[in-house]
Structure 1
Amino acid sequence: MDESVSVREARAGLAKLLDQAEAGEPTVITRGGTPVAAIVPIEEYDALEAAADELLARKAIRTLEEDGGEPRATMAEVLADIFGTGATDVA
């Protein structure tokens, strides 16, 4: 079962919580009794990130298929959106 600790307890015992995560034990951190974060083993975090990437990739493929296979934006437009520059600044 996942352990739950307050922010105060987490601050005081961070090294112990990291040891527990390294041993495969997740810990939920609460603020005012409400869960707000978790310390998890890095393998679980990596798996979650990979699953999120896969989900986004599948969604992108589905969107492209629905749009007839044509992208909605050019690469320059995407980069401009990401980096906050004009499309001509990136190309």
Structure 2
Amino acid sequence: MREIQLRDAKAALSAVVDDANRGEPSIITRHGKPEAVILSFDEWQRLSTVPSFGKLLAASGLVDGDIPERDETPLHDLDR
């Protein structure tokens, strides 16, 4: 993924959008810091439909007792 300064992206916005549509997203920077990402609409739609980890867990069908209690036993003796 290439980085492009904001002022350069403004001057070449059409080319930046064309690159994104070809599968080459760009990171827009301001004063050297990443500020935004330009990617194709199709890629944005694909990424925006990925469920959160919480939603995946909620849909898993797990019930109380399906996951064993956490073992709190120390991994090694700290007094040695």
Instruction: Provide TM-score, normalisation by structure 2.
Output: 0.64
> In the alignment, which residue of structure 2 is the partner of 1:20?
19
> In the alignment, which residue of structure 2 is the partner of 1:58?
55
Q: 4+ residue runs of structure 1 moved beyond 2 angstroms?
A: 59-62
Give 5+ residue unaligned stretches, structure 2: 64-80
One-letter amino acid of the counterpart of residue 23, structure 2: G
For 1:18 and 1:60, how far apart are their aligned partners in 2?
36
For 1:34 and 1:27, how far apart are their aligned partners in 2?
13
Identical columns (%): 30
* Structure index of larger Rg: 2
> In the alignment, which residue of structure 2 is the partner of 1:7?
6
Cα-Cα RMSD: 2.2
For 1:7 and 1:31, how far apart are their aligned partners in 2?
6
Instruction: Provide TM-score, normalisation by structure 1.
Output: 0.57
Q: Which has the higher contact order (CA 8 A, sep 6+)?
A: 2
Count of aligned positions: 61
For 2:42 and 2:28, how far apart are their aligned partners in 1?
19
